[in-house]
Structure 1
Amino acid sequence: MGAQLRTERLLLRPALARDAGALHAIFVQPEAMAYWSRPPHAEMAETHDWLAGMIAIPPDQGEDFIVTLDARVIGKAGFWRFPEIGFILDPAFWGQGYAQEALEAVIGRAFAVHRLPHVTADVDPRNRRSLALLARLGFQETGRAARTWHVGGVWCDSIYLRLDAPE
């Protein structure tokens, strides 16, 4: 089993096939998926495929974690491909600092263990919560682009952000 990260309240661990049901419960929620790179999952097969991709990430290319609170899956945080960070949390757990806690651990590991020179993010400009969270973590805007993602028949824009490794 891969690396596990413990924070004050969370355990971040590698994904397992048995996480499909808990992730699907998040991925079917329009609120959770509002600014994701694909529409809410209509079928469990979509979640199984997505999870299989997460599990198969080559260690030299990325590292993604299941975020758990008291052994309950509440989301995911990590790198599908270095250096771009990605995260999603069950809306029932928004506004309680869990996403920030998880991202601090993941980013700290990326800088310390993987020696990434920087971490990037691609965020829909309408996603004010994620933009505010990343700003609190020290990310700086590096650019913007229009019509970068076509999700559910709608074109979405991108704000590009970057956090440099500590000196």
Structure 2
Amino acid sequence: MILRTERLLLRPPQPEDLSALSRVFSNSDAMRYWSHSAHDSRSKTEKTLKGMIASSAETGLEFVIECNGEVVGKAGLWRVAELGYILHPDYWGHGLAREALEVIISATWERYPDLNEITAEIDPRNGASARLLTHFGFKLTHSARSTIQINGEWCDSDYYTLLRPDPDGPKPSVVF
């Protein structure tokens, strides 16, 4: 599945994305609130990319994000139905994550008509991510302390859920 927005192309990951994704996953700012530390080798990114490709085959909704022909991040469901996303910091603050998630969330409801909710787990210190999720109607369901250790630091987690919209409500459009 390929999704398009006004500025973005979201497509399944492929082995040729390794260099571009290494640029994202090796960036310590991008990885500050991720579930593991910044990659210090291409082999770590290669392992992540293989997982993304497998997830894409499983869910059909794991994407690399292209802006102006350049891979700038990833977003999608890495398992049904947990949402994840990351952008290189050069692309923060331009509404690209919001643009990407809008079509991914719509595509999720269309692809999985029996799915009742989408979940997301974030580090509570990541205020931008919390604002992004709440923009789409995600609700904080619970928090947990010391859920993961990254670079010797124990980090907490906030868990969010987005319920399927009312079938009688407005329908967002998805561009394929």
Matched, 1:156 2:155: yes
What residue in structure 1 maps to residue 169 of structure 2? none
What residue in structure 2 maps to residue 47 of structure 1? 45
In structure 1, C-alpha distance between the alignment counterparts of 2:83 and 2:55, rounded to whole Å: 14
> Contact conserved, 1:37 with 1:151, CA < 8 A, in 2?
yes
In structure 2, C-alpha distance between the alignment counterparts of 1:53 and 1:63, rounded to whole Å: 13
Say which structure, 1 or 2, has more relative contact order (CA 8 Å, 6+ apart).
2
User: TM-score, normalising length from structure 1?
Assistant: 0.95
1:11 CA drift (Å): 0.5
User: TM-score, normalising length from structure 2?
Assistant: 0.90
Residues 84-135 of structure 1 deviation map (CA, whole Å, 9 limit, x = unaligned): 1000001101010000000011111001112221111111010011001111
AA at the equivalent of 1:81 = R
Report the aligned-residue RMSD.
Answer: 1.2
In structure 2, C-alpha distance between the alignment counterparts of 1:160 and 1:9, rounded to whole Å: 29
In structure 2, C-alpha distance between the alignment counterparts of 1:42 and 1:58, rounded to whole Å: 24
1:152 CA drift (Å): 1.7
> Contact conserved, 1:35 with 1:124, CA < 8 A, in 2?
yes
In structure 1, C-alpha distance between the alignment counterparts of 2:9 and 2:95, rounded to whole Å: 14
Residues 20-39 of structure 1 deviation map (CA, whole Å, 9 limit, x = unaligned): 10010111111100000110
> Contact conserved, 2:145 with 2:156, CA < 8 A, in 1?
yes
1:59 CA drift (Å): 3.9
> Contact conserved, 1:120 with 1:161, CA < 8 A, in 2?
yes
In structure 2, C-alpha distance between the alignment counterparts of 1:164 and 1:62, rounded to whole Å: 20
Percentage of identical aligned residues: 44
> Contact conserved, 1:62 with 1:82, CA < 8 A, in 2?
no
Please give the secondary structure, in 2, of the residue aligned with 1:15. coil
Please give the secondary structure, in 2, of the residue aligned with 1:74. strand
Matched, 1:105 2:103: yes
> Contact conserved, 1:4 with 1:13, CA < 8 A, in 2?
yes
Superposed, 1:69-84 pairs within 5 Å as 69-84=67-82
Long gaps (5+) in structure 2: 167-176
> Contact conserved, 1:66 with 1:73, CA < 8 A, in 2?
yes
Residues 51-78 of structure 1 deviation map (CA, whole Å, 9 limit, x = unaligned): 0111112644463100001110010000
AA at the equivalent of 1:91 = P
